[in-house]
Amino acid sequence: MAAMDDPGPRGWFGSFGGCFVPEALVPACEQLASAFRAAMADADFLAALAGLQRSYAGRPTPVTEAARLSEVLGVRVLLKREDLAHTGSHKINNAIGQGLLAKRIGKTALVAETGAGQHGVATATVAAHLGLGCTVYMGAKDVARQELNVFRMELLGATVVPVTAGARTLKDATSEALRHWVTAVDSTHYCIGSVLGPHPYPWLVREFQRVIGDEARAQCAELLAVAAPDVVVACVGGGSNAAGTFAGFAGTQARLVGVEAAGGAALTDGRTGVLHGALSWFLQDDDGQIRQAHSISAGLDYPGVGPEHAWLAESGRAEYHTATDEEAVAAAELCARTEGILPALESAHALAWVHRAALAKDLAGGATVLITMSGRGDKDAATMREFLRGRR
Ligand SMILES: *Cc1c(COP(=O)(O)O)cnc(C)c1O
């Protein structure tokens, strides 16, 4: 299998992926896979998708030349501006795609899991726009931490269900959302928020996020007058913005770099295992129990990574690094002050790695580096304030 191709009918990226679900969900996963395949070959569906991306989500998002930041870092930085998409991050790309797909297969409602609330808000947004019902499962701990996002979802007409099982965070919310799907599968589409879960989700979500990489590749070619930047960097939580970005450049010579949170680095500190329907890399204790991830950015504290990233790491087509909370906050500040762009703390991890690699000469002086700015930092302002108050 060439890098970032179709994972085939069983959804295998090398030895990762698959579809490990209860029997009751096997037909739903199979129906979804064939409906998705048909939709992506249907000009009407693709036109509807492109139409919403343009007139509703605000695509294409620009690539911004970061001149002052480049001067500081000694490499030429280009930013792919997903922070400018509707709802403030790349999550809307996937939510629009799955919303349209749900309607096409006759579903009347969406169910989703959310951690910090970003995917929940994107799903509730698209459900409202398309006239679909929406239920969002969220760990009780996250409900308390992310009050404002809970209220946003409710304003958008969604029902938010707090999950009190387990550690009461994203992993537990995902398990509950899968359970809900089992009981309501005839009417409900499960809108998963990253390149995670059973086949066809890791493939389907990557394809709906591919628009980031496809746009960026054309925009970079125009700006640089060569086929691709030297290095393409994105942060990795579950891995959807990175997968969408990498998909546009997998066929080029560009070095592909994913950056995980140091406290949630499944590809550095994890082991192979099965969780939420797929075989991939997960943080685990000595007994194989899933270990809680910790990061200042809620979007990066899923304890695993999508199966395609496990494959890209194993095959060597992409490399994965980490950045600490401290480095991410410093990178966000640097970007804000040099560019007038306050990135989401998730995205700041990508920038933090570039900063470190440039200093260490792991990036050659003057190299061209595309960074996917996965979202805007407004949501993290209070977190950053608290963090910096503790330091200064
Ligand atoms: C959710 C989120 C992420 C992490 O998710 P991926 O699936 O790894 O892309 C990164 N950045 C932002 C802004 C997010 O909201």
Q: Which residue has the least CA distance to atom 1 on ligand 1?
A: 299
CA-209 nearest atom, ligand 1? 9
State the pLDDT at residue 1: 55
State the pLDDT at residue 120: 97
State the pLDDT at residue 145: 82
**Rounded CA separation 19/25 (Å):** 10
State the pLDDT at residue 294: 87
Ligand 1 pocket residue status of 80, Cβ below 6 Å: no
| CATH classification code of 18-52+90-201 | 3.40.50.1100
Specify burial of residue 352 (Cβ count, 10 A radius: 0-12, 13-18, 19+): buried
Task: Tell me the pLDDT of the chain (392 aa) as tens digits.
Answer: 568 989 999 999 999 999 999 999 999 999 999 999 999 999 999 999 999 999 999 999 999 999 999 999 999 999 999 999 999 999 999 999 999 999 999 999 999 999 989 999 999 999 999 999 999 999 999 898 889 999 999 999 999 999 999 888 888 999 999 999 999 999 999 999 999 999 999 999 999 999 999 999 999 999 998 989 999 999 999 999 999 999 999 999 999 999 999 998 999 999 999 999 999 999 999 998 999 888 888 788 788 999 999 999 999 999 999 999 999 999 999 999 999 999 999 999 999 999 999 999 999 999 999 999 999 999 999 999 999 998 77
For residue 105, report the distance from its CA to the centre of ligand 1, in Å.
27
Domain residues of the chain, as ranges? 18-52+90-201, 60-89+210-391
| CATH classification code of 60-89+210-391 | 3.40.50.1100
State the pLDDT at residue 329: 97
Q: Which residue has the least CA distance to atom 7 on ligand 1?
A: 240
For residue 23, report the distance from its CA to the centre of ligand 1, in Å.
30
State the pLDDT at residue 230: 98
CA-347 nearest atom, ligand 1? 11
The backbone region for 260, taken as left when phi is positive above 0, alpha when psi lies in -120 to 50, beta otherwise, is beta
Q: What is the pTM of this model?
A: 0.97
State the pLDDT at residue 3: 80
| SS3 of residue 45 by DSSP | helix
Ligand 1 pocket residue status of 66, Cβ below 6 Å: no
CA-82 nearest atom, ligand 1? 13
Active-site residue set = 91, 113, 374
Ligand 1 pocket residue status of 374, Cβ below 6 Å: yes
Ligand 1 pocket residue status of 194, Cβ below 6 Å: yes
Map tokens 């990253």 to a residue. Answer: 194
**Rounded CA separation 81/245 (Å):** 12
Ligand 1 pocket residue status of 347, Cβ below 6 Å: yes
DSSP alpha helix (H) spans, the chain? 26-39, 43-55, 67-73, 91-104, 118-130, 140-145, 147-155, 170-183, 201-224, 240-249, 266-269, 307-315, 325-339, 345-359, 381-391
What is the 8-class DSSP label of residue 252?
A: S
Ligand 1 pocket residue status of 146, Cβ below 6 Å: no
For residue 373, report the distance from its CA to the centre of ligand 1, in Å.
10
